[in-house]
Structure 1
Amino acid sequence: MTTKNTIQSKTRVLLALWDLGGIKQQVSKGLLTKRIVSKTKKVADYQGIFEELQKQGAIAISKKGYSLISPKGLEVLGEGLRSDGFKFEGTIVGTWAANALVKWISQINVGVASADVAVNGKTGAIASYDEFKSAALEVYDKLNYEYNFNNLVPIYRIRREIGDRVSRTEFSKWLLEMQEKDVLQLMAGEMRDITPDKRDDSITVPGGGLRYYTKLLNS
């Protein structure tokens, strides 16, 4: 797949996922593929696209489906739509795509602007342990509920969900502090689909090695 086609395919996937509510909930694989796969392509043609978007931190993939990760997913989608290499294939634009673009344009100031603000640190930035604790617990509950993690939420998912609102160093420091204060427990365990980027986005406990999961302790 050429670079131009890759941009088109990635943007098509992200636009469909966003339009289906993937920023707030998980979208089933069947529903997403039905939306994006055209007559000239197969589901297998998009496998590499899904993997690349996952590596970028734009989407999350589970056995049940896909979800769009904020703010990275919105950033990549916005860049794709503005790219010179993006255009719809064929002579007819699907109704879903046209409606999704109209919705994107109407909400762009709310969606992408808020993501940009968080990244730039003007608002939404986490400046203290208490703010981090509140954000981390909110993300923990959200991920645990949406993906049925059975109270063992992957640390890399929490880190990516919080994103650039906090530095990597402060994320690790404050998460360790939450363990020290018995708010949660950092656990090793086995991660079947471990990749180098997921390992990097987990956390190393001084003298204790890598921790992949976190479990909320009963208060």
Structure 2
Amino acid sequence: MSTPAKGLRGSQTQAQTRLLLSLWDLQGLNQAVKRSDLNKRLVRSKEKAKDYQPIVDQLEKDGAIKVTTKNRSVSLSLTPQGLELLKSGLQDPDFKFSGSIIGTKFPNALLKWVRSIGDLHPDSPQQTKKVSKLKTYGDFKKAILSTYDQLNQGYNLKDLVPIYRIRREIQDTVDRLQFNEWLIKMQEDDIFQLMSGEVAEMTPDKKADSLTLPGGAFRFYAKRL
């Protein structure tokens, strides 16, 4: 997918990498991003949003992104496969920002990516064996409560456990979006209170691994009720 496509500036491969980078920068790994918001970041002069539709279709088919439609509003989210594809795209020596004048949005997103590389999952233990996937809400609830107690007691967190640390402990057992949905349900079931609070040493990857509620509110801590 390296040849130029009608309407696109540059190759489809480069457009694909820019799309994935934009989606990642908009927190697409942690939440669904409206297609309209992505278009504002992605579509350049003399291009149209529909020029990117074949790329979106192929990425969805390949499992790199997840596309959802609600009330005619289309949203996209980045999957772990998409994150790996983005890594490969950025490492491609042929990838570049075309044009004589480059705005700040893509270079800034790329700079943000580079800064996050060295601290992707510093608090996660190395996984040495394959673990089973959590298939039900009940299984998820048991795993979360056990993980919460281990972190809270082991690190003396005083009942305020960072959500990003919980996510990273069980990241191989549950899909990111499913984690978000079930964690919010645990708050609805009065098991957890999800809180914002002051965050020290916040980094882009820690924010991405925390939680953004459907209304847009940011939550960093979980407190067991």
TM-score bracket, shorter-length normalisation: 0.5 to 0.7
Among residues 17, 26, 39, which one is paired with 2:23 in the alignment? 17
Distance 1:131 1:66, change over 3 A: closer
Structure 2 match to 1:7 = 13
Structure 1 match to 2:127 = 123
Q: Which runs of 5+ in 1 are unaligned?
A: 147-219
Mapped partners of 2:93, 2:175: distance in 1: 40
Q: CA deviation at 1:75?
A: 0.7
- The alignment partner of 1:110 has SS state of coil
The code of the aligned residue for 2:79 comes to: I
Q: CA deviation at 1:145?
A: 8.0
Q: Which runs of 5+ in 2 are unaligned?
A: 5-10, 141-172, 185-225
1:42 and 2:48 correspond: yes
Greater share of residues in helix = 1
Structure 2 match to 1:31 = 37
What is the TM-score normalised by the length of structure 1? 0.54
Residues 27-52 of structure 1 deviation map (CA, whole Å, 9 limit, x = unaligned): 11111011111112111110001011
Contact 1:7–1:85 (Cα < 8 Å) also in 2: no
Mapped partners of 2:97, 2:49: distance in 1: 18
- The alignment partner of 1:61 has SS state of strand
Q: CA deviation at 1:140?
A: 3.5
Structure 1 match to 2:78 = 68
Mapped partners of 1:48, 1:79: distance in 2: 20
Identity among equivalent pairs (%): 36
1:57 and 2:63 correspond: yes
- The alignment partner of 2:76 has SS state of strand
CA RMSD for the aligned pairs? 3.3
The count of corresponding residues between Structure 1 and Structure 2 is 139
1:142 and 2:180 correspond: yes
The code of the aligned residue for 2:18 comes to: R
Residues 167-216 of structure 1 deviation map (CA, whole Å, 9 limit, x = unaligned): xxxxxxxxxxxxxxxxxxxxxxxxxxxxxxxxxxxxxxxxxxxxxxxxxx
Contact 2:60–2:66 (Cα < 8 Å) also in 1: yes
Distance 1:41 1:125, change over 3 A: farther
What is the TM-score normalised by the length of structure 2? 0.53
Structure 1 match to 2:212 = none
Mapping of residues 75-86 of structure 1, within 5 Å: 75-86=84-95
Q: CA deviation at 1:137?
A: 9.0
